[in-house]
Amino acid sequence: MSTLAIDLRSPCVEDAIALCRAHDDTWRYAYRGIIPGRELERMVMRRGEDWWQRAIRNRGRRMLIATVAGELAGYASFGRNRVASIPVSGEIFELYVRPEYHGLGLGRRLLTCSRAALDELGWPGLGIWALRDNEDACRFYLSMGGVETARGSETFGTTTLEKIAFTWS
């Protein structure tokens, strides 16, 4: 009998290369065909290994990584809500799972543990933004009990895309 070891933990500086690869892969998977190609590649290229090392060292930026059999499979970053019009204190800034690990419940675990960490930090309630055209993400947040609370837009080069805020009280 064989079992997969799944672990959630805070990242260490040695995880920077794996986080960089996970970011690149997940962003290309999630946003190809939504964010214009040139803009997507610019966004991906801004986050190299050095960027991730700084993010890990920055105590104000809270993060969790999910590993499966020792391989980095996904990550979440979270902190104080940045948008005053959203009626929650905490926010997940990013939540991504590598495509080959979809369906294992890692997104659910990352969201749940990030929310618990925000509660412990004194930032109850949770908000997360998703591009409207990222249907997989929107479906996931709705399935997790998120409520569509606000809409906004984000511009990528000359393309403006609608985004949706999902919240949990």
CATH number at 17 reads 3.40.630.30
Q: Contact 150/86 with Cβ under 8 angstroms?
A: yes
Domain-embedded: residue 124: yes
Q: Is the pLDDT of residue 2 over 90?
A: no
Domain-embedded: residue 135: no
Number of structural domains found in the chain: 1
Domain-embedded: residue 144: no
For residues 88-117, give the mean pLDDT: 96
Domain-embedded: residue 105: yes
Residue, of 60 and 41, whose pLDDT is higher: 41
Domain-embedded: residue 151: no
Tell which phi-psi region holds residue 82, choosing left (phi > 0), alpha (psi between -120 and 50) or beta.
Answer: alpha
pLDDT band at 61 (very low <50, low <70, confident <90, very high): low
Domain residues for the domain of 39 are 6-128
pTM for this model (two decimals):
0.94
Tell me the percentage of the chain whose pLDDT exceeds 70: 96
